[in-house]
Amino acid sequence: MKIPWQTIVQPTIEEILRTASVPGIVIALAQEDGSVEHLVLGTDGQASPLRADTLFPIASITKLATALAILRLAAAGALRPDDPLVNHLPNAAAARKGVTLRTLLSHTSGLPDDVPPELAPYAPELDWPTLARACLATPLTPDACDLQQRRVWPACHHRRTGDRSPLRDRADCVGADTTRHRGIPGS
């Protein structure tokens, strides 16, 4: 009889939690048939028991997962990085002219760093549906309409062509250059 993976890894995970003074963890494992199995250990920061659907404030880690998902879908031909956001999320407040999957991935779309706190206050009762609604309702920043023309594309043009235009925002330029020149399908 096959031993469940949770039984095998649980002692090691419990030791890591003790050693690192981490109150709890949720591990999800996707099976070949598409089902998901969980190992849930410990509590959250307020000593509430964790559940398989507990939300964690993981912040920027989601950027990697989102980018990988988009690139896999692009490789499979399901979408292109230069698709307008409106093609995939027509009800999103940010689904406006010039906002593409590529501009979202390179942080040049004009979205703010986080959802407005009034739409999804970070509290123990925050759930996925509320967070999803907040993401869809988050508008572009006020200067987003001309963000690409004023700041990002002139800077990238300078890096690619040697043109002496002022380099205003090197971080955005590097992000845009990376997505455009590192082999992302549709580049």
Instruction: Please give the positions annotated as active site.
Output: 60
Q: Please choose, from the candidates 66, 110, 107, 108, the residue with its C-alpha nearest in 3D space to the C-alpha of residue 88.
A: 66
The whole-angstrom separation of Cα 48 and Cα 173 is 43
For residues 163, 108, 71, 133, the Cα torsion angle rounded to the nearest 10 degrees is -170
Both structure tokens of 33? 């048939």
Both structure tokens of 40? 């849930």
For residue 99, the SS3 value is coil
The whole-angstrom separation of Cα 104 and Cα 70 is 11
In sequence order, what are the residues at sequence separation of 6 or more whose Cβ sits closer than 8 angstroms to the Cβ of residue 63?
none
